[in-house]
A = this chain, B = another copy of it.
Amino acid sequence: MKEEKRKDWKSKVHEVIYGTHTPAGRLFDLLLLALIVYSVIIVMLESVPRIDEEYHNFLNISEWVVTALFTIEYILRIITINKPKKYIFSFFGVVDLLSTIPKYLSLFLVGSQFITAFRILRLLRIFRILKLVRFVGESNNLIRALNSSKTKIFVFVFFVVIISVILGTVMYIVEGPQNGYESIPHSIYWTIVTLTTVGYGDISPQTPLGQFIATMIMIIGYGIIAVPTGIVSAEYASGMAKGESLDKGRACPECGSEVLQQDAHYCRQCGHKLSED
């Protein structure tokens, strides 16, 4: 009986923390989102010297309160789930842990608290939390497009790196340290700044020959920028054409991973049989 009760207690908390169907679950999720945004803003403001000087105590205490709440949440998530290991080593499990640890570390290591800004990754839950079926669809489509063009993008980046090494070396030989191209790696950095059309201007060619080569690099970059655009566009368009049915915002009660397909009967991560809802 007692065992049953405990199970009951656990399943209720599970419903609130992982579920998005009950009013309590939604409220919890919205509060969590607000807390995440709040805590990220706190971390950012802490890094602004002028603000940190004036409000140091307030920011510090806020940080500790948020960290405490996140720690409690993390422990509850582990306790109430059936397969804790799956959760702990999942993407969100790692993010949740990394959202709390740096603050504790900051007691020993000054500066490490800024790593807590990474807890903004927790915001990715927003898609599941707000039951944004359409949004999940959109982002899945994006991720799928990027996923299926993975090898193409690898090949592309590989070529860009080779081209950059060669052009960077040429520019190093042509311009040399006296014109700001201090070393080959530094020259390669400049080449990529130019190829990607970012163009900081912290270094720029000074000799006529260097400027001529730079001109060539820019026109090459013009052609090159067309390649990933073409790849992603094509993949995205073909992904749109397929159009799959998507998420209803459910989470597997066994491992906590999201259920993506509407017609899924088993969790794609752990194989747990999903109840109809």
Contacts and interface: CB of A to CB of B under 8 A. Distances in A.
Given A48-B185, A138-B151, A199-B193, A231 B236 contact: yes
A124 B142 CA distance: 30
Interface centre among A49, A115, A185 (most CB of B within 10 A): A185
Interface centre among A186, A231, A240 (most CB of B within 10 A): A231
Contact of A214 (B153, B189, B231): B189
Given A166-B118, A198-B197, A155 B173 contact: no
A39 interface: no
Interface residues of A, number: 83
A146 B229 CA distance: 14
Nearest to A118: B166
A126 B161 CA distance: 14
Contacts of A123: 162
Given A169-B114, A184-B117, A227 B219 contact: no
Interface stretch (A83-91, A201-209, A255-263, A265-273): A201-209
B200 A204 contact: yes
Contacts of A154: 135
Interface in A110-169: 111, 114-115, 117-118, 120-121, 123-124, 126, 134-135, 138-139, 141-142, 145-146, 151-160, 162, 165-166, 169
Contacts of A240: 234
A218 interface: yes
A115 B166 contact: no
Contacts of A214: 189, 193
A43 B173 CA distance: 13
Interface string A220-240: 011101111111111111001
B228 A223 contact: yes
A43 B185 CA distance: 10
B48 A183 contact: yes
**10 closest residue pairs by CB, A with B:** A198-B199, A200-B201, A230-B233, A226-B232, A117-B169, A47-B184, A201-B201, A48-B183, A226-B229, A202-B204
22 contacts: A43-B184, A44-B184, A44-B185, A47-B183, A47-B185, A48-B182, A115-B169, A120-B166, A135-B151, A138-B152, A139-B159, A145-B230, A160-B219, A188-B215, A189-B211, A192-B218, A198-B199, A201-B202, A226-B230, A226-B232, A230-B236, A230-B237
